[in-house]
Structure 1
């Protein structure tokens, strides 16, 4: 195999062009960071796989300017129906589930292949093309940077970069090359997934079909009318070679109360639960499924990977531009690995409880869920907790070295609360550090922000701001990803200056 050289090298090399890698590349490109993104596959995925796009992901996309396009192409899920024996036993509304808490107070279904296509287009508009059919075959690093060997069409090339990010999935070559452990396990149950056309027309709601010996989900795939079917393969069929949907039809249709007219895609899979021992090794990072995999409970997987990408991108950009201390990069693992471990533990408990073969799981499926869920739905606190958890707006970094202070009920590490009037999320499109004041800025505080190169956004004190947990005349230093770094109840100018000095933040300075 011959070896070629490349005249220009990127600052960041991304291995893996799924949603995590694409969002990471797009975030970096929008910030002017030279980036390459490669994937060993011949092209984008053609299966819908991950479906749910959560509110926090849409908020990140709003910063980049294409959230509305995603919403327009997806399907808003208006309700969830619990069914037993093909008949409804309970239903709850999902319409504006998180009204007032996010610009996107709903659950959105958006097929992953359509999602990836849109991200590839956005990345191309930013001047970066995915290099398909390109595999990582070698990796080494030193204090100066990373040396990656890439293979394409029988030719190897050496790519040198300041940093490398492994977004290459559960079987990550990057993780293996770095010899990072991936502890966890695999559930015994075999699952099926199918995209199918169902008699009776397209249904926008989520249907949870409960049975004493299993369960199945049905949700909308895309506006063209396909439905996603997910469920347990009956024990008697788990060892059958060449399993097809026709083998499952006699059990799936009665459980879900449907008749399948056509199947567009069908597969079986085992569910894993693993978290990498580290998310960083020197100048190399892991994100998405390369760092964590878990059950699909709650539609969290893809959104968590995108959250990794957003968290890492702005930190790499600031360090590469010389606008922050390199220690900023240490906070990526600190902030994201804790959430990944908590998520895997939570989804593991939920997954085992709902899918288990034991009597307790059968009682949960056939009695507790149908009776408890509608009852709990009557409480606004329960609805808010569910939205905050599933939407990922509840993710916070309170234990991060980047988080300090408290003003009102908002503390450093919280996502900036959303205030609709006037819209305080609009300013986040700058992708830059900024200061928010809800009330009247103090002159010394405004001067401190100006000296630090921070844009100051002053919002009127409103009832909406109070309900969001903000404090009148409080000052909030907001990170480029929309999280509060520093909360100051009295606009303490010296604390703002000290924070910027501690991290060597120079947000208003040009790249070095």
Structure 2
């Protein structure tokens, strides 16, 4: 019997399998397809995802293979109206101050290869037929391509099987929301004539718009736009030639070759529940929204990592079952807020009428230029898009504050003399940070409980980042701040675990 059966081997399922395996959890991962995706689909890999990829030594691989879009250009009525240099607004906030474009098909292959290096293979052409939660384990009926069936047992089942999730439907979990009337198209193309090639572009031309995401320096790009007029009523026979080209032409680009084209309707939905007994929903199985901001895939990957460390703690009997409920409260709250945010942006981009056209043509570029000029606003823009602003302040796992840091936040990233405080541990686990000098009893406690203690010599950079000298910052295995204690007290640290019936100890997973 495996510890966790993962249904679906897209980026969410693969990340879940990786982080579970790295923490000593036995997994099976199945997928009905014959192989990884062959089309690019999701493109953007945000800074917070790359920061977490460092835990498994994946970041450098992904960054090297991907393409860094270091600026966003906004066009309206055929003219460039605003340019936001992303490295300018993100420098000092993260090691990755840009939007990394890495096509999903290549991304999936990278994750599959990493998982194989851990000794885990995706079981392809294997479909979940149905399952039963037996109270102390889950039994699942699996069907292979040749029609043979197997009953598999696992302690938990993780549903990463997409927006049409078999698992969610069988559980009868509601998926409330709606579908936008617009039809979207996506196309991977080779183009010429683009000013500032290798940067991201958004063109707003009346009711038509297109987003251009470059993923090479020689003209390969992803186009995302809407299908206009009566063509949207019967999209089943659409080709790239049928979609509106006004916005594309307004940027001055010429599409030389279309390598892949598809169309879809955009949904905005969040599942009523992310957990039912021993079964969990994540990624598109739990939430779908507009592609505004390139958040979808990254949100699914962060779902996967959030649940993985909690499952590992419970499976290894270091924490009670109620720890798993915090996955629901943390990630469902974020999914709902994300749907609201992307819905507002999407509605602005696609609204009809003269006032809406005027707002897109002049208001949006003006706002972008204004935000770029104001330091705090620039920081907020980068943090929101990069998901480094994501917090769990209302979580039962979050406690205290020290300096400007509150329990539930991401720790400020600080680099001093080329060394940064986000350097990963050899294995995933709890860690304590002290910027200054840790108390001797804190050192002894960390040694006794197998929790990594990291002391950083106090510097002005730490103060500037909002950290407090000699305070204690307890980081969860997914590196969000669990506890911030200004006194650096071992009593407060010990009480944090004792009050929640947690038993921290060294991880027994893979060295990465």
Bin of the TM-score, shorter chain as denominator length:
over 0.9
- Counterpart of 2:126 in structure 1 is 134
Cα pair 2:86 2:97 within 8 Å, conserved? no
For 1:25, which of 17, 29, 44 is the aligned residue? 17
8 Å contact kept, 2:475–2:483: yes
1:152-167 equivalence runs, <5 A? 152=144, 153-167=146-160
1: distance between equivalents of 2:475 and 2:507?
Answer: 19
Gaps of 5+ in 1: 1-8
Partner Cα separation in structure 2 for residue 365 and residue 311 of structure 1: 37
- 3-state DSSP of counterpart to 1:48: coil
Q: Secondary structure at the match of 1:175?
A: helix
Alignment of 1:304-315 (within 5 A): 304-315=299-310
Other-structure match for 1:375 = 370
Of 188, 195, 214, the residue aligned with 1:195 is: 188
Q: 1:11 aligns to what SS in structure 2? A: strand
**How many pairs are equivalent?**
504
Contact 1:198–1:258 (Cα < 8 Å) also in 2: yes
Q: 1:93 aligns with which of 82, 85, 90?
A: 85
How far apart in 1 are the matches of 2:133 and 2:248? 54
**Aligned match for 1:182, one of 171, 175, 196:** 175
- 1:440-451 correspondence runs (5 A): 440-451=437-448
In structure 2, how many angstroms separate the alpha carbons of the residues matched to 1:448 and 1:69?
36
Counterpart in the other structure of 2:224: 230
1:388 pairs, out of 383, 389, 394, with 383
Q: CA deviation at 1:224?
A: 6.3
Deviation at 1:362, TM superposition (A): 1.2
TM-fit CA distance, 1:29: 1.0
Match of 2:451 among 438, 451, 454: 454
**Root-mean-square deviation (CA), in Å?**
1.7
Residues 91-129 of structure 1, C-alpha deviation per residue, up to 9 Å, x if partnerless? 221224311111112111111111001001001001110
Give the structure 1 partner of residue 140 of structure 2. 148
If the length of structure 2 is used for normalisation, what is the TM-score?
Answer: 0.95
- Pairwise mapping of residues 10-409 of structure 1 onto structure 2 (< 5 A)? 10-152=2-144, 153-200=146-193, 203-222=197-216, 225-240=219-234, 241-248=236-243, 250-251=245-246, 253-409=248-404
Residue 6 of structure 1: aligned partner = none
CA contact (8 A) 1:216 1:255 kept: no
What secondary structure is seen at the aligned counterpart in 1 of 2:400?
A: strand
- Preserved CA contact (<8 Å) 1:321 1:511: no
Assess if the C-alpha contact under 8 Å between 1:321 and 1:510 holds in 2.
Answer: no
SS of 1:437's partner is: strand
Give per-residue Cα distances to partners, 1:340-393, cap 9 Å, x unaligned.
000001111111011111333212211101223112211111110011100001
Question: Alpha-carbon deviation of 1:415?
Answer: 1.0
Q: Cα offset for 1:318?
A: 1.2
Deviations 1:214-259 (A, max 9, x none): 2111111346642111111111321345111112365454233221
TM superposition outliers: structure 1 runs of 4+ over 3 Å: 221-225, 249-253, 509-512
Q: Which moved more, 1:243-252 or 1:416-425?
A: 243-252
Q: Is the 8 A contact 1:322 1:511 kept in 2?
A: no
CA distance 1:47–1:133, shift in 2 (3 Å): same
Could you say what secondary structure the match of 1:449 adopts? helix
Mean Cα deviation higher: 314-323 or 360-369: 360-369
Q: Secondary structure at the match of 1:160?
A: strand
Contact 2:71 2:83 in 1 (8 A): yes
Could you say if the C-alpha distance between residues 452 and 291 of structure 1 is closer, same or farther in structure 2, counting changes exceeding 3 Å?
A: same
**Contact 2:5 2:158 (C-alpha < 8 Å) held by counterparts:** yes
Match of 1:501 in 2: 498
Residue 429 of structure 1, CA deviation: 4.8
Partner of 2:483: 486
CA distance in 1, matches of 2:272, 2:380: 30
1:29-86 Cα offsets, whole Å, 9 max, x none, are 1112110100111211111011110000000101110101101111111212122343
